Amino acid sequence: MLYKLLFNKRMIRVPLVLAGLVGLAGCQALQTADRGLYQAVEMVSENDRVTGRRSLSLADRNAQIRQGNQYIEQLLAEERQAGRKLNGELDRAQYQRLVRLFDRIQRISHLRQERWQPLLIDRDSFNAFTTGGTYIVVHLGLMEQLPDDDEVAAVVGHEIAHTVANHVGESQGHRIASQLSGSKAARSGAYQAAFTHENEREADRIGILYSALAGFDPYAASRIWQRQYLLEGNARALMLHDHPVNAERAEEARQVAAAVASYYRPGQQNPHYEALLENNALWQAQQPGPEAGAGGGVLALLSTVTDTWLQHEQAKAEAARQQQRSAFVKAVEARMTLLESRTLAGNRLQTRWQYRASAPPLNQLVIGLLVQQGEQLSRHVAHIDGVVRPNGQFVAEFNLPETLPVQDLPSLPVRFYVDDVVPAQ
């Protein structure tokens, strides 16, 4: 029954009625019912560590640690079995750097009382992750690609934030709730990607605040995603986005950094970090309500239902927004004609296009190139300056890496696509 409440907005009225009943008097029966209700809600939710609101969670913190760490410990066993080096054995300088940066971030986080362990594994990709326990796993490739300590700290803060906000547990709870409630929208791939997308946005906001409080430049995250946008574009029409696209992520990171910049003390921990974790420019933590038996059960149910419904609606809205943007990009792509392509010195490919349409004019146009080299698929982009007019022509020039000689392109499977675009104002 509780799961059906979570996805039925008409049922939000029910806790309001119950709240009035519990407040009538010190009725023993109502107090007992309220305590029972609190216990039931406690089994499927917890107080969010950041906002203080109730959110779905099917496991307490001890269980979250056990479940999250079990996956990482299995990964470690597989790494050792494969003979791969870890941590300081892999790269002593980079591991010491990771530990140093991690300690500063974790020391001011909402889970600073826990003992965590950063892990450095032998992968050349740009990646880091947590699984809800007390490990953070960072690929060596990320450390090597980010010589700026502030940028590594931004990634670490983001990953710790995922665990602080219990995103693993929330996602599991929402999947179960959507299945039991019969919500078709919540079972779609677009919705699931959008739900994760919103969690990523929240982790970005928390992580940027952590960076500022720990003495790292809060604008570092924005620099990462602006650089990724220039290198990779946004790929709006290629996939469902379970992470914010690079351009939007860079802009929102800039806005969050501006909001928390006053908390930043270069190289120093903010002495007021504990108070700022509770009340800052991004959120004000909700204070604890009445105890179980005194309306606490009703309030816990109301908070859980309301917060879950809001997350549900946000994910639906984000899924619809992504689908609308993707449809526009694909419609523009259908009106693009490749007129010619030629190789240039410096491993560059120049292409000329015509936009065959009567409207609208286009801005922020990015043309993408997918290249299949054996089992490896690479993506390259060309950013087009200025406005592209209807029935006008434009040039897109790709600067290719040395690993992809431009003269090899005619013999490889390639695909051009519109990576991103917006209507010109």
* Bridging pattern class, strands 135-139 and 128-129: antiparallel
Residue 180: the pLDDT is 66
Distances (CA, A) of 102 to 22, 85, 112, 200, 209: 47, 20, 11, 19, 15
CATH number 2.60.40 given to 335-423:
yes
Residue 258: the pLDDT is 98
Residue 22: the pLDDT is 47
Contacts of 287 (CB under 8 A, 6+ apart): 52
DSSP 187: G
Residue with tokens 């019969």: 182
Do 178 and 73 form a contact (C-beta atoms < 8 A)? no
Residue 56: the pLDDT is 85
List the Cα angle 409/413/418 in 5-degree steps.
Answer: 90
- What residue segments make up the domains of the chain, in order of their start? 54-325, 335-423
Closest CA to 208 of 282, 128, 318, 272: 282
For residue 121, what are its two tokens?
């594994």
Helix (H) or strand (E) holding 380: strand 376-383
Residue with tokens 């307490």: 60
pLDDT tens digits for the chain (425 residues)?
A: 444 545 554 444 444 444 454 454 457 888 888 888 888 888 888 899 999 988 888 889 999 999 999 999 999 999 999 999 999 999 999 999 999 999 999 999 999 999 999 999 999 999 999 999 999 999 999 999 999 999 999 999 999 999 999 999 888 877 777 666 666 777 788 999 999 999 999 999 999 999 999 999 999 999 999 999 999 999 998 888 999 999 999 999 999 999 999 999 999 999 999 999 999 999 999 888 888 888 888 888 888 888 888 988 999 999 999 999 999 999 999 999 999 999 999 999 999 999 999 999 999 999 999 999 999 999 999 999 999 999 999 999 999 999 999 999 999 999 999 999 999 98
- Residue 94 has φ and ψ, to the nearest 5°, of -70, -35
